[in-house]
Amino acid sequence: MAPPGPVVIVGAGIIGCASAYELAKAGCAVTVIERDTVGSEASSAAAGMLAPLGESTRSDPFQELALASWRLYPDTVAELRAVTGVDVEYTTTGTLHPLFTAEDVRAAGARCNSPLAKQMGLALLEGQEVFEREPAISKKARAALFVPGDHWVNNQRLTVAYAQAAAARGVTFRLGARVGEVMLERGRGVGVVAGGERVRADAVLITAGAWSGELTASLGSRLPVEPARGQMLALSHVPPLLKHCIHGADVYLVPRPSGELLIGATVERVGFVRAVTPEGIGSLIRSALEVVPDLADRPITRTWCGFRPWAPDSLPILGPWPGVPGLAVATAHFRNGILLAPITARLMKEVLVDGKPSLDLAPFLPDRFLK
């Protein structure tokens, strides 16, 4: 079999870097073109939670995709560590959802009874059990739902680790070059125009995050991908107060081994307005103190925002561009792009090299928006 041809990837977020690594491992000559630097957008703004069950324990195609990616994590982080030496702070102590009302306790108890919840070890902790596990939780909590399978990583480090592993496999990174157009010849994707220069390839993969919509406008039919702004802040977590991720009604708290406690995140449809606001950061702080009051005097170390790539049905867009051989897209990962990076990269390698994905992509194909 002939070796797979060259591939150009647009965007060096986690999806572009992970896909570059998988394609290079399959023997492709890969060039990643990024208008800024590696991981400069959503992939660095994220909290890094790997929470495949989300709010539900209902089985659906999205959850199958999420669980498939979650299962790849232990081997992925070990492989990246072996290749690059980067410790991505993969942490597996699980999430606690403190419950403050009888109604919430009842709902959480019911949630624990689904077959998937049992398989994933969800448990309702009551009374003193909660404070034995996590003493800093508000004493107003009546109970807590424990989700042991919720893990997290340092997403900045993970994106860099993927990029370094890709570079070690010969991937070329062209940073500071904006892709203005995908080149088509006789109905095929044959490269891109970046910084005014034509870069030819056998295939183009668009992983431009929240900007994927504007890039696809040059193809005549625009994908409806839009930014969903998320604001976050970090507190000093030295000495540490929490061992678990804590999930309140409108807030989550993620303790990083490197000494920060991340608090996130708003979900706002305000376009590409790159700003944190008193309302956004203030509401996160108020909600965080309701679940862990002892954080009140911890220094705030930083605040930031990022743009999640969002599609109208909140599902990722993955797969070949209909009717255009040599063009594929992997975007709109919305709140789960860090979790979904390993499976997305594997699927994009399967689409572009093997021509056959190992999971049914039907619910995620770009076709659903391009009729």
Ligand X SMILES: Cc1cc2nc3c(=O)[nH]c(=O)nc-3n(C[C@H](O)[C@H](O)[C@H](O)COP(=O)(O)OP(=O)(O)OC[C@H]3O[C@@H](n4cnc5c(N)ncnc54)[C@H](O)[C@@H]3O)c2cc1C
- What residue ranges bind ligand X (CB under 6 A)? 10-16, 33-36, 40-43, 45-49, 178-179, 207-211, 215, 230, 232, 264-265, 306, 308-309, 331, 333-339
Which residue number, 244 or 308, has a Cβ lying nearer to ligand X?
308
For ligand X, which is the closer residue by CB, 146 or 211?
A: 211
> What is the C-alpha separation between 183 and 194, in angstroms, rounded?
10
- Work out the number of other CB atoms within 10 angstroms of the CB of residue 278: 7
Which of 144, 173, 168 is CA-nearest to residue 246? 144
Whole-number minimum distance, CB 248 to ligand X, in Å?
15
Angle, helices 155-168/61-84, rounded to nearest 10 degrees: 60
Which of 153, 151, 128, 169 has the alpha carbon at shortest distance from 30?
Answer: 169
b/e sequence 73-112, b meaning 16+ C-beta within 10 Å: beebbebbeebbebebbbbebbbbbbbbeeebbeebeebb
Closer of 33 and 167 to ligand X (Cβ): 33
Nearer to ligand X, 101 or 314 (CB): 314
Dist CA 159 CA 76 (whole Å): 12
| Residue 155 C-beta: closest distance to ligand X, Å | 7
In the complex, minimum distance from the CB of residue 280 to ligand X, in angstroms, rounded to a whole number:
10
Rank residues 20 and 117 by Cβ distance to ligand X and give the closer one. Answer: 20
Q: CB of 205: closest distance to ligand X in angstroms?
A: 11
Residue 179: CB minimum distance to ligand X, A: 4
Q: What is the nearest approach in angstroms of ligand X to the Cβ of residue 140?
A: 26
Task: Render 277-337 in DSSP notation, one character per residue.
Answer: -HHHHHHHHHHHHHH-GGGTTSPEEEEEEEEEEE-TTS--EEEEPTT-TTEEEEE--GGGH
Terminal Cα-to-Cα distance of the chain (whole angstroms) = 35
Residue with smaller CB distance to ligand X, 67 or 179: 179
How far, in Å, CA of 45 to CA of 265, rounded? 10
Compute the distance between CA of residue 182 and CA of residue 221 in angstroms, rounded to an integer: 12
- Interstrand relation of 172-175 and 30-34 (parallel, antiparallel or unpaired): parallel
What is the nearest approach in angstroms of ligand X to the Cβ of residue 105?
26
- Of residues 105 and 207, the one with the C-beta less far from ligand X: 207
